[in-house]
Chain A
């Protein structure tokens, strides 16, 4: 297993954000991490990156123990955060150079890979323009390039399709499958269930810090006697009927 997290527990004050979560993602696997807001997905990701120290539990990433060698773990992960984190004053080219040099890549490799990434994401024309002028989708493309440039064995992608145009979204889905075929373990966090259904091999649904369902997409459907992931999610991760809630809200707004 490329990512192996066992018995993760984390508290924010009185609130138990994670309660004994186990997570395993193998090489070449695309694993969906799902759950409603506040379920513990971001906390899990932050723990995997070493940004949060769990109250209990252990994490191994690409064979490295996070507790003893967090920097090596970070070296082996390509991370796309949900909220894009970039320096407004730097250009995409400068960002890629900075991050790739920090990750130990040679200049010639950086040059070659940057060119390919800019080409794939239609960034070539604007590679020397400060990012402060960019739209949300363009920023997302730069952040994806930062996650991919060092060809890590582990990718953690949080809502990777957010803001992307249709072409870039298609390219990205193919890229994710391509990385997996080359042995990369991909942890795919998203709320867009039909995309998860199509892209991921296995998935886990968290709710209130606990694992409420886990398995291949077809296993999840079978376990809950549902036909789509949407229905699986509805049956294990929502306490009230969403359709009923929506109807009630519409009536309240009409009054």
Chain B
């Protein structure tokens, strides 16, 4: 059997099977694109022409494929065991890269079909079988182009910056892709109409894949060229493979905590909680797995900015998005329990943690101070900026809504933490979280909608606004007092851990 076949088989087996618990973690990942595609088709594009469906699928498949294949390659690389075993073997780097790409392509095929297959079935009922096949073809070509392009970009970046440094971009990259997808979803303008006045765009991949049936030759030529160039780029990527410097991430220093975190540490974190606060704050700013899982959740709040800028005439939609964003933040906190280091949780196991309550609350506050509050502060600045430009709610309402939304987010996240069983960064297998992801969102969506309605009313009156802000602050304070008491009751009192 050739090296390529042996490697592909080994990597595929490891990626798809892993161990029993890993399979459980794959299921939510498969549900996400499926839900997205059905949501888009059923809610956003129900009355749109077939072209809009094709266009959305082509662009979404391209973006999804590029981002997912870029990140899947990291997941394969992150399997340190494979790297340690495979690196010393006499295998050409390009063979390893080709095997890795094949594995990523197989994994990608699953997610692409997750997006395209349900939509194509619905299209078959509405527009007929040829249209459904067209949907599948457009999604496939777009996904293939995205995959090849991503592999090339990755190879170039690795060669330029080294693997470690490129891996540090994973979290921010996921955030950008998330914002792009949410923006696409929210805005979903009349794409066919918009493109009608720009016919040259019909020939540019991935848009061209949606216009393959047009009688003009542009899209066909553009699509063919796009696929050929993509495959050529993938070939180039194989040639570049393994030429980067893996050690170039050495020298990266730890950064100081943000001003928000320092203020929170001083005024809101008790001395006995500070060891956990510092520990979680440092880990969550640098743990690659945490960053890659949690940063995309902030895409939703940031998509609010686009919404405010583009749809100032629909404040209800903006408010729903602003308060609904807590859904994603609350979901993200589940990943605080999971660590990229296999050794970290083992270290934690041997330490005498007497004050479990302090550990839990300190880490929870690090999540709020390090991520939730800064995200809403950035949102506040953006909303204020837009107000100054004459868009959005106006200055007073922008301030009012960001204050209420921040408090609401902290309250919902704090409530959600009640369901998290693990201490921060104490588990290595994310499979254990699969069950946690199923129930929370529905409650949070309902809460978000309710909060949006209430906030829309109270922010109109200064008295009601200040009363609401005070009530939310009291609720947060009360919740922490209750948590502290219940956690302390379930663990022995502290005999150390003073900061």
Contacts and interface: CB of A to CB of B under 8 A. Distances in A.
A49 interface: yes
A85 B499 contact: no
A24 interface: no
Given A101-B275, A106-B498, A89 B352 contact: no
B423 to A, nearest CB: 12
A72 B288 CA distance: 34
Contacts of B499: 101, 107
Interface residues of A, number: 35
A86 interface: yes
Contacts of B352: 71-72, 74-75, 102-103
Most buried by B among A75, A81, A98: A98
B339 A102 contact: no
B283 interface: yes
B497 A130 contact: no
A54 B469 CA distance: 55
A126 to B, nearest CB: 9
A45 B345 CA distance: 18
Contacts of A83: 343, 346
B346 A89 contact: no
Interface string B330-352: 00000000011101111101111
Contacts of B422: none
A97 B346 contact: no
Nearest to B287: A89
A79 B254 CA distance: 26
B250 A133 contact: yes
A130 B346 contact: no
A84 to B, nearest CB: 6
Nearest to B341: A88
A91 B288 CA distance: 14
B344 to A, nearest CB: 4
B340 A51 contact: no
B463 interface: no
Given A74-B352, A89-B283, A89-B340, A133 B278 contact: no
B252 A102 contact: no
B198 interface: no
B279 A94 contact: yes
Contact of B252 (A51, A81, A130): A130
Interface string A140-174: 00000010000000000000000000000000000
A104 B283 contact: no
Contacts of A105: 496
Contacts of B497: 101-104
Interface in B307-351: 339-341, 343-347, 349-351
Contacts of B247: 133
Most buried by B among A87, A88, A98: A87
B286 interface: yes
A90 B498 contact: no
A89 to B, nearest CB: 4
Given A51-B349, A71-B352, A101-B498, A89 B341 contact: yes
Interface in B344-383: 344-347, 349-354
A132 B286 CA distance: 10
B24 interface: no
B492 interface: yes
A99 interface: yes
A104 B278 contact: no
Interface string B395-430: 000000000000000000000000000000100000
Contacts of A133: 164, 247, 249-252
A103 B341 contact: no
A104 B495 contact: yes
A89 B288 CA distance: 8
Interface string B124-165: 000000000000000000000000000000000000000010
B239 to A, nearest CB: 28
Contact of B278 (A74, A85, A94, A146): A94
B164 A85 contact: no
A181 interface: no
A94 B257 CA distance: 12
A133 B274 CA distance: 26
A102 B353 contact: yes
A88 B279 contact: no
A102 to B, nearest CB: 5
A130 B286 contact: yes
Interface in B266-292: 274-275, 278-279, 282-283, 285-288
Given A87-B343, A87-B425, A132-B164, A51 B253 contact: no
Nearest to B286: A89
Given A75-B352, A98-B275, A86 B496 contact: no
A75 B347 contact: no
Contacts of A99: 347, 351
Given A102-B275, A102-B351, A103-B496, A87 B252 contact: no
Contact of A129 (B252, B278, B288, B495): B252
B262 to A, nearest CB: 15
18 contacts: A49-B350, A75-B352, A81-B350, A86-B347, A87-B341, A87-B347, A89-B283, A89-B285, A94-B254, A94-B279, A99-B347, A101-B275, A102-B351, A102-B352, A102-B353, A104-B498, A130-B252, A133-B249
Given A71-B353, A103-B497, A129-B251, 9 more contacts: A86-B343, A87-B425, A88-B340, A89-B285, A98-B275, A102-B275, A102-B351, A129-B252, A130-B286
Across the A-B interface, the 6 shortest Cβ-Cβ residue pairs: A104-B496, A85-B343, A89-B286, A101-B275, A85-B346, A87-B344
